[in-house]
Structure 1
Amino acid sequence: MPQITRDSLMSLESYAKVRPAYRSEMIAHKKNRSVALGGHVTLIFEDEKTMRYQIQEMLRAERTFEDAGIQDELDAYNPLIPDGSNWKATMMIEYPDPDERQLALGKLKGIEDRVWVQVADQPRVYAIADEDMERENAEKTSAVHFLRFELDATSAAAAKSGAAIRMGIDLVAYPVEAITLAENARAALVADLA
Structure 2
Amino acid sequence: MRKIEFAEVAPLIEYERMREGYRRRIIDLKRRRRVQVGDHLSFLFENRETVLFQIQEMLRAERIVEEARVRDEIDVYNDLIPGEGELSATLFIEIEDPALIKETLDRLMGIDVGERVWIEIGGAHVIPGIFEAGHSDEERGKLSAVHFVRFRFGPAEIRGFREDDAFLVADHPGARARVRIPDEVKASLLQDLGA
Compute the TM-score of the two structures, normalised by the length of structure 1.
0.93
Read off the aligned partner of 2:183 and give its amino acid letter: E
Matched residues in 2 for 1:170 and 1:70: separation? 38
Matched residues in 2 for 1:121 and 1:134: separation? 30
Shift in Å at residue 112 of structure 1? 2.3
Q: Which residue in the other structure is 2:173 paired with? A: 172
2:35 is the counterpart of 1:35: yes
Tell me the C-alpha RMSD between the 2 structures.
1.3
Q: For structure 1, which runs of at least 5 residues remain unmatched after alignment?
A: none
Matched residues in 1 for 2:87 and 2:125: separation? 16
Aligned length: 191
Read off the aligned partner of 2:180 and give its amino acid letter: T
Q: Which residue in the other structure is 1:111 paired with? A: 111
Q: For structure 2, which runs of at least 5 residues remain unmatched after alignment?
A: none
Shift in Å at residue 136 of structure 1? 3.1
Identity of aligned residues (%): 33
1:91-146: CA deviations, max 9, x gaps? 01111222311011111111124111012233311211114x34333213211110
Q: Which residue in the other structure is 1:124 paired with? A: 126
Matched residues in 2 for 1:84 and 1:32: separation? 21
2:20 is the counterpart of 1:20: yes
2:70 is the counterpart of 1:70: yes
- Does structure 2 retain, via aligned residues, the 8 Å contact 1:89–1:147? yes
Read off the aligned partner of 1:155 and give its amino acid letter: E
- Does structure 1 retain, via aligned residues, the 8 Å contact 2:135–2:144? no
- Does structure 2 retain, via aligned residues, the 8 Å contact 1:107–1:140? no
1:29-79: CA deviations, max 9, x gaps? 000100000111100000000000000111111111111111111111101
